[in-house]
């Protein structure tokens, strides 16, 4: 089995010298687009599927052959809700989701809030399974390309910034082939930015890159047209 984030696996699939033959490729953490799914199928010549999981809830839903994410109802309770936590009916997009983990007795998570937007379906799936299934508006962050043609998967940068605990929310925007802009929410903006800047520079230098890191006065923002929020994206020609 080969498992990973779709964007990372998409980069991996570009290596012609990689000659492995997994029985299955399982992705998670980001949206598995049709383009990446087909690319992985061509490269590895096997079944490619995705799942929906998180640290607090474990395996929330697994994909069937109809590409529907069936909720593991004996493992977790999934509640699609509006911004004010009102229940959202079947077939309608939620603003967020609350999960209750039914298996973690050491550290219970009850109605834990995830910012994912989901649609829960009650209609019967053609695969024959009887559980509810969902659609998720997953992360669609960009793969960034820097000088020397070096490409970086968004989750790699996400993990770097996630370690800066003083940052409550962030958004990293590539403004040029050698420049990124950091938007963030923090109670200690100056100190948090310095930590983030050093962490990002160390990451880029390890790849042989010199990348300028600048701080934005603006907070992280969703796209004005689509309403979707990206943590990592490219914004230059």
Task: Note whether 110 and 100 are within 8 A (CB).
Answer: yes
Q: What is the mean pLDDT of residues 95-117?
A: 91
- pLDDT value, residue 143: 86
Cβ contacts of 130 within 8 Å, gap of 6 or more: 124
Q: How many distinct structural domains can be found in the chain?
A: 2
Query: How many angstroms separate the CA atoms of 51 and 59, rounded?
Result: 7
Strand 24-27 and strand 47-54: the pairing is parallel
- pLDDT value, residue 228: 65
Residue 5 gets which letter from DSSP? -
Model confidence at 102, pLDDT cuts 50, 70, 90, reads: very high
Residues 32 and 127 in one domain: yes
Tens of pLDDT, residue by residue over 137-174, are 766 678 899 998 899 988 889 889 989 999 988 999 99
- pLDDT value, residue 54: 87
Dmax over CA atoms of the chain, in Å, equals 55
Q: What is the mean pLDDT of residues 168-183?
A: 94
- pLDDT value, residue 122: 94
Domain ranges, residue 50: 2-137
Q: What is the mean pLDDT of residues 106-133?
A: 92
Query: How many angstroms separate the CA atoms of 158 and 27, rounded?
Result: 17
Tens of pLDDT, residue by residue over 38-67, are 999 999 999 999 999 888 888 999 999 999
Boundary-marking domain end, from 109, 137, 165: 137
Residues 17 and 91 in one domain: yes
Residue 175 sits in a domain of what CATH number? 3.30.300.30
């Amino acid at each position: 089995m080969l498992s990973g984030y779709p964007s990372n696996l998409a980069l991996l699939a570009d290596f012609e010298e990689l000659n492995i033959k997994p029985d299955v490729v399982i992705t998670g953490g980001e949206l598995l687009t049709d383009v990446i799914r087909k690319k992985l199928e061509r490269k590895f010549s096997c079944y490619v599927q995705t799942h929906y999981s998180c640290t607090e809830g474990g395996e929330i839903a697994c994909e069937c052959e109809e590409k529907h994410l069936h909720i593991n109802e004996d493992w977790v309770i999934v509640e699609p809700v509006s911004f004010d936590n009102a229940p959202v009916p079947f077939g309608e997009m939620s603003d967020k989701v609350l999960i209750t983990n039914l298996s973690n007795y050491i550290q219970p998570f009850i109605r834990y809030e995830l910012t994912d937007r989901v649609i829960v379906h009650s209609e019967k799936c053609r695969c024959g399974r009887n559980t509810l299934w969902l659609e998720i508006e997953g992360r669609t962050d960009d793969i960034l390309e820097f000088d020397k043609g070096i490409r970086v998967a968004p989750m790699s940068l996400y993990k770097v910034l996630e370690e800066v605990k003083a940052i409550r929310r962030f958004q990293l925007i590539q403004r040029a082939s050698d420049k990124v802009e950091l938007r963030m929410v923090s109670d200690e903006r100056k100190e948090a930015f310095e930590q983030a800047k050093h962490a990002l520079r160390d990451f880029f230098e390890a790849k042989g890159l010199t990348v300028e890191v600048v701080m934005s006065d603006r907070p992280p923002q969703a796209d004005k047209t689509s309403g979707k929020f990206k943590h990592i994206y490219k914004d230059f020609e």
